[in-house]
Amino acid sequence: DIELIHNIEQLLVTVVDVANYRYMPKALPYRDYMNKIKDVLNVRFISDSIVFTLELSKITTDPHLNDNENVSNHICAYLNSISMFCPFFIGKTGLIFKGGIAIGPHYEKDIGNNIFIFSQAYIDASELEKKQKIRPRIVVSNNLLSYLKNISFNYIDKFF
């Protein structure tokens, strides 16, 4: 049903806009900083997978913050995007998620109408999801949790 496919496509576009903070008020403090964070967040829809990525090597720094604070702000925006995306999508479709979140090497490039991806993080996230006996659930890798503790990420309890 091509109409159903177009409706799902439009829903996904809307959800990505919400997840990428496109509907923030224009006068919000730190708007420029948030826009720069948004620029390194990416969402891809591949078959039945929704892939959120945050390229840590491209984070934008605010000179008023230290490195860990800048990285933490980017990770917080990434996790907030997922947190906003899931209930919006569930509410619109009735479909519930299962999956994994991992950290690791990730390479992707658009080549014309094609996407080229090599990603250890994607493989690790998929393996995490496959191992879970309770579904639906989104599982976080131990490597990611260790990384968050190492950078003194202050919002672990908020998300996990």
Mean pLDDT of the chain: 82
Question: Over 60: is that where the pLDDT of 24 sits?
Answer: no
Give the pLDDT score at 106.
Answer: 92
- 3-class DSSP state of 12: helix
Q: How far is CA 69 from CA 41, 114, 152, in A?
A: 17, 35, 9
Q: How many CA atoms lie within 13 A of 78 on its CB side?
A: 22
Mean local confidence (pLDDT), 4-27: 67
**Is residue 22 pLDDT above 80, yes or no?**
no
| Residues ≥6 apart with Cβ < 8 Å to 93 | 8, 11
State pLDDT tens for residues 49-93. 888 899 888 887 778 888 888 888 888 888 888 888 888 888 878
Mean pLDDT, to the nearest integer, of 131-146?
Answer: 87
Q: Is the pTM of this model over 0.85?
A: no
pLDDT at 107 over 80: yes
Q: What percent of the chain has pLDDT over 70?
A: 89
The pLDDT of 39-52, averaged and rounded, is: 83
DSSP helix/strand/coil, 28:
coil
Does residue 40 surpass a pLDDT of 80?
yes
pLDDT at 41: 84
Output the pLDDT for position 122. Answer: 92
For residue 120, give Cα distances in angstroms to 10, 90, 115, 148. 30, 27, 16, 18
